[in-house]
Amino acid sequence: MVNNRRILLIIGGGIAAYKCLELIRRLRERGNRVRVVMTKAAQQFVTPLSVSALTNERVFTDLFDLDDEREIGHIRLSREADVVVVAPATADLMAKMALGLANDLASAVLLASDKAPVIAPAMNPRMWQNPATQRNVTQLKADGATFVGPETGEMAEAGEAGPGRLAEVPELIAAIERTTTAPASALTPGPLAGRHVVITSGPTHEPIDPVRYIANRSSGKQGHAIAEAAVKAGARVTLISGPVNIADPDGATCVHVETAAQMLAAVEAALPADIAIFCAAVADWRVANRGGQKIKKQKGAEVPRLELVPNPDILATIASLSKGRPGLVIGFAAETENILGHAQAKLRNKGCDWIVANDVSADSGIAGGVMGGDRNSVHLIKADGHQSWPEMGKDEVARALVEQMANSLGEDRRSSKRKPSATGKAGAK
């Protein structure tokens, strides 16, 4: 399990440098330590003070800093990092890298590094398309560098458009995480190694006709974050997702469905599992007789009436299995009032082991709201009590929940080892 990655970010000079502030914040939210080297040009766009405030680290700018170089600072910076990221990578900085120059701190660190860097170019389209730049890109790729972008679009300069925009922060993070994920054989087994975790995520769409449908508001961000955290904890993960607009998590087996009935069938097909987490916002009802053609609005005609029937209760169905029930069944409860009371009732009524409840009302206090947002504040309800967690990023909620799951399964394993054998004596054969 790769935790607490040490990331060295080298910020080149360019207007796109402002995106690095968001990149640093997102990397830190994921528990990474970020150190930053800034070129002289980068300091014209982003101040070292801003970067230092976000990293909670000193920012390195000078090759000939006496305090740093007394300890051979540029060597130490490169060797202590798990991954080196260059963003934005200017044409000048890439040229130095391709030629092996080392006339400032950034280029000296890159030349002294024993790791192939992640490079995110950003420059004017004509600079990117220049044959000299393309030769340097070819050389850097041959040397093992990973490139992210550039993207095509409008430039900061008026009237300029084309390839040269810095990749967006989620793409940069995905590339960094792929680079820092070691082969399974090189990893210490995670706390969920050998476990199969089934997770539902996103909404379901229940058709009214070929055009319209009934759905709940759900982005899938929390369920997908849990899947990602479980993969990093060493689990074999099956993610069953309704229609969402976010990428499948790396390392998970993903099954895409639309309706509640399809989701239940996919869950049943994925069993057996050690843990089942039902994070999806499943529509409670579907239309009894959906239209085969689009229902047309006719002037003066009576408003069509929709007869609704209950959808299958996926959580209750799996929690009540007499054979093949997962050892730990976790449900989610999105509530708008009496959060704890409704969640505790759901725990009893559904027969699951835990409920993760959150306030999705407009009064939740979370900027932008929970539904579709990146932050959450949840209560973890168990039969013997509950925990109220502070507001945090959905990825942090996911990591905390995975830790609780691993601890629970570990306690069950230890308890089973202490149980007496059939002879009535622990350890007797």
Q: What is the DSSP letter of 195?
A: -
- Nearest to 283, CA basis, from 205, 344, 347: 205
Q: Is 3 known to be catalytic? A: no
- Cβ(188)–Cβ(402) under 8 Å? no
CB 39 within 8 A of CB 403: no
Spatial neighbors of 284 by CB under 8 A, at least 6 apart, are 310, 311
Q: Residue 42: which of 81, 85, 77, 93 has the closest Cα?
A: 93
- Strand extents, DSSP E, 212-304: 213-215, 236-241, 253-256, 275-278, 285-287
Distances (CA, A) of 240 to 111, 198, 206: 45, 8, 16
391, with CB counted inside 10 A (0-12, 13-18, 19+), is middle
Tell me the β-bridge partners of 239: 199, 254
Q: Which amino acid is at 228?
A: E
Catalytic residue among 4, 56, 136, 216: 216
Catalytic residue annotation: 216
